[in-house]
Amino acid sequence: MTAAALLLVAFAAADVPADPSAPAAVSLEIRDPAALLAHPLIGNVWAELNEAPGVREARRRPELDAVLDPLRFLAGRCDRDVPTLLADLTAGGVRFDWSGEENGPAALTIAAASPEVWQEFLPALRTWLSRTADPLTALAAIPPDLQDGQEWTVGSLRYQLDGATLSLASGGAPYAPRAAGEDHVHLRIDLHHLRESGRLPAEAEFQKDPAFAALLGGYAASLLSANQFDLSLADSGAKSDGLSLRIAMDGEERLPGFFAPPDAVSPAPLNVAGALYSASWYRDYRTLWDARGSALPPEQVEALEARDFEIRQGIKVLGADVLPSELASAFDSSWRAVVVNGEREYLVAATPPLPAAGLAVSLRDRERFEDLARPALSAIRLVAVFGGAKMQPFRTRGSEGELDLSGLRFLDRSGADSVGDRARFNVAPTWTVHRGHFVVASTRPLVRSIAAALDAEAESPHRLPPGVTESQRFEPEAFAAALDAAGASVRFALIAEGGFDSLEAAAIQEAAARALRSLGPITVTTAVDDSGLSLEMQFTPAASDR
């Protein structure tokens, strides 16, 4: 946000009664915005993207000039360039506090590098505002002879200059203290206050969607019951060359079965060579289903049970008389996913080449699962063969020590004359049961790779720390390789959809790949304990940049 925008922040236009002793419902601190943007990790990515054609085009847009022209004027009057002016204005940090009430009290504090910065900038701002027809020209009332400790009022806004700190407040709010934390960014939200004042709902409509409840319901329940939300961005790594983004919510309310118990130890993500993405998470759907009556609103329970019965009736005509809830209850609590660059499956080359994805789910009882899953999988095969998808089922029985594989394949020469037709040849859905897990993937090679990872894990188990309920890992280097592999298709999309010429499209693709290669692995860890729920993202530079 530019300095001018910070100074012209839209506080309430009308006076609002305030309780100065009430704590802020929302507080945002940015310790040193310019230093954050200059962080090696951010700088490396920006350096790769900055000269890409799309970014250069954006920098030449008239809308950007409308923002930059006033800043250029102010920087010139202060004998600086724009980046240096913004860095000097915010070197001591920025803090914003808001009461949480509509048009309620708010306060903004900006700490510059020195008192002299404001002594130069504020007269320049006064001059610029006096020359415009903007309705906010009332700020031209900035006193011409500024003194340290001086306070002045413009409409409902109060200003105070105290050394290197400029403070603004509205609605009777006290001035916000200076940003004092060690984090680059710290956001704190008093969820309890916002909920009590009606600014946040006690229950969200999306919670009533059964699919949402199954996938993200636990996170929604934690957010809607937490009293406080904290987000922080800080340095990480031995050399402070990485960044850590942490989100924490207090509260003990849990959706039963959604998160791992605090003392539970879950398996780590699968170790599959060349993975772009891998994840491991805890989800006990049998416990979730059994607790639906006490954990969910009655209308959501009713919708969930109706949908369960509806799906059963839909597949019953295909010979599969099974409730989805019964099938889900046969799964145990360990779910692990992996995405890799795809391998060629067909005689016809897939265009564009897409990554392959797979899933391994632990089973409570293999025999019960197979009894329940067999008719459901048969129904899927019937739909694929006779539903116009032009697929055929296959099954391979492995000898001792090898895998039994079942799945579906497209016919190799099923009218694949266009690029759209050839995209289907990325997929040959395949499944098996191996080492107590149901394994399913979009290709046969990936099923075999997951099975091999399960074999290796049986010899040398790798577990997550107690209380960690979810772990994810992104590999930017592998994503860059996938981008390279899909080169022609990516460039075609940029030309057709973005309006770039072929040279620009190639430059954009190369810049994106270089930006990805400047990053090391990105990890996301979610944990639960007695204090609440926390999520941490770790960003690291590529090994070659350390």
Query: Which tokens in the block code for residue 353?
Result: 């080449």
SS (H, E, C) 69-83: HHHHHHHHHCCCCHH
CA atoms within 13 A on the CB side of 288: 27
- CB-based burial of residue 88 (10 Å sphere; 0-12 exposed, 13-18 middle, 19+ buried)? buried
What is the structure's pLDDT at 546? 53
Residue 20 is given by DSSP the state T
What is the block-wise mean pLDDT of the chain (546 residues), using blocks of 10 residues? 38 37 81 89 79 70 78 92 93 91 86 92 84 55 76 82 90 78 90 82 62 78 87 85 91 79 88 94 90 77 84 72 82 95 82 89 90 77 67 76 83 57 84 94 94 93 89 94 83 82 85 89 91 91 72
Whether residue 79 contacts residue 88, with contact meaning beta carbons closer than 8 Å, is answered with no
Question: How many residues make up the chain in this entry?
Answer: 546
Which residues, including other chains, have CB under 8 Å from residue 2's CB and lie 6 or more apart? 67, 71, 86
Q: What is the pTM of this model?
A: 0.83
Q: At 442, phi and psi to the nearest 5?
A: -80, -10
Can you tell me the distance from the alpha carbon of 328 to that of 8, in angstroms, rounded to the nearest whole number? 54
Instruction: Check if the beta carbon of residue 396 is closer than 8 Å to that of residue 404.
Output: yes
Residue 90 contacts residue 110 (beta carbons within 8 Å): yes
Token pair for 409: 């394949």
The one-letter amino acid code at 92 reads G
Closest of 128, 152, 148, 156 to residue 140, by C-alpha: 128
DSSP 148-212: TT-EEEETTEEEEEETTEEEEEETTPPPPPPP--SSSEEEEEEHHHHHHTTSS-SS-GGGG-HHH
